Amino acid sequence: METIDFRTLSIFVTTCRLMSLTQCAEELGLPKSTVSKAISKLEDQLQARLLERSTRKIEITDAGRVTLRRASLLVEEFKSLREDVRDIEQQVQGLLRISAPFAMGSYLAQYILPPFLQQWPKAQVSLELSNVFDDLFIQGMDLAIRVGQIADDRLVAKEVGYVTQVLVASPDYLRKHGIPESPEDIRQHNCITAGVAQESSFWTLVSKNTTKSIEVQGNFHCENPETAKKAATGGVGIAQIPVNSMICELEKQELIRILPDWHATYKPIYLVYRSGVNKPKRVSALLDYLLSIKEHFEFGPDHQLCQYQQCPLEPNQNRL
């Protein structure tokens, strides 16, 4: 059966309401010939004469009255559907799927997302943690937070901050092995490495205008900083951990920062999302919110998270 489109039905209903092809054309902003062709098309599809047309007036046939009753309901229902969908899209509600690195998970859950959900209680957030750069198209993500350069030119990436790593170890480890006083001292310690094995064996440390590359060694290697943090908390050795992922550990003094004048190089933090202007309201609202609090994504070595304590050790234990 040939499909009868909404536009044709709308033209027919408007013509019957105004009882004039000319006035219908003016109201809908269409040529009069387009209106006439739409009526003829509908009559061909229904195989019935719907309007009797003359140069001076039109009259609705019996078949036309039946069609008008049904068509009017369909047109109104479609308009209502369109308005309902538009209202939904203009409200901040529905599911938001966010991808972020493991190291960002606790910080986002504790500090960033709660104010947004309090402001928009009908919104729902699914926070999915991964250090792999997911394909946002395939995974169905609304946006991602990523550290490091973005290579996918199909995506929009807006820089919102930066992060660095600092050196930490557990109090127990430092009591047993002493506190390094210079980057070179790290070579004598058990170092927890993360990431690609051959790359993680060298740590690049920065202090003001000085940069040093230190070859480290240790008996524990893992894929991501989150696991390295657990190993450091357990007393395995010294680790380089992103500032933003040590909130609880630094507050509870489960980890102690060492060599406070040194840190790893900075890496940019990006908000990443699919291009296109027709975003649901919930996505636009979340983007606007995150961009308005960019200062919360600046994790430098002097961040307040790093200022909780000095190393709680006896002076004679602060030496190798």
At residue 12, the 3 state secondary structure works out as: helix
Say what the pLDDT of residue 62 is: 93
Q: What fold, for 165-266+303-317?
A: D-Maltodextrin-Binding Protein; domain 2 (3.40.190)
State the alpha helices, DSSP H only, in the chain: 6-18, 21-28, 32-46, 62-90, 102-107, 113-119, 136-139, 171-177, 197-200, 225-233, 247-251, 281-292
CA quadruple 21, 27, 32, 37: dihedral positive or negative? Answer: negative
Domain 94-161+272-297 has CATH 3.40.190.10: yes
* Residue 1 pLDDT class (50, 70, 90 cuts): very low
pLDDT of residue 6 exceeding 80, the answer is yes
One-letter amino acid of 152: D
Return residue ranges of the chain for CATH 1.10.10.10. 6-90
Return residue ranges of the chain for CATH 3.40.190.290. 165-266+303-317
Other beta carbons within 10 Å of 248: 12
Return residue ranges of the chain for CATH 3.40.190.10. 94-161+272-297
Contacts of 109 (CB under 8 A, 6+ apart): 127
pTM for this prediction: 0.64
Say what the pLDDT of residue 318 is: 41
Of 126 and 136, the structure prediction assigns the larger pLDDT to 126
Segment among 50-54, 59-63, 311-315 with least mean pLDDT: 311-315
Task: Tell me the two tokens of residue 72.
Answer: 């009017």
Can you tell me the mean pLDDT for 58-62? 91
Segment among 50-54, 198-202, 243-247, 305-309 with least mean pLDDT: 305-309
Can you tell me the mean pLDDT for 103-115? 90
Architecture of domain 6-90: Orthogonal Bundle (1.10)
Say what the pLDDT of residue 287 is: 93
Say what the pLDDT of residue 310 is: 45
pLDDT of residue 308 exceeding 60, the answer is no
Of 37 and 198, the structure prediction assigns the larger pLDDT to 37
Of 246 and 292, the structure prediction assigns the larger pLDDT to 292
The pLDDT mean for the chain works out to 85
pLDDT of residue 152 exceeding 50, the answer is yes
Say what the pLDDT of residue 43 is: 92
Say what the pLDDT of residue 87 is: 63
* Residue 319 pLDDT class (50, 70, 90 cuts): very low
CA quadruple 182, 183, 188, 190: dihedral positive or negative? Answer: positive
| Spatial distance between the Cα atoms of 74 and 157, rounded to a whole number of angstroms | 43
Say what the pLDDT of residue 112 is: 94
pLDDT of residue 90 exceeding 60, the answer is yes
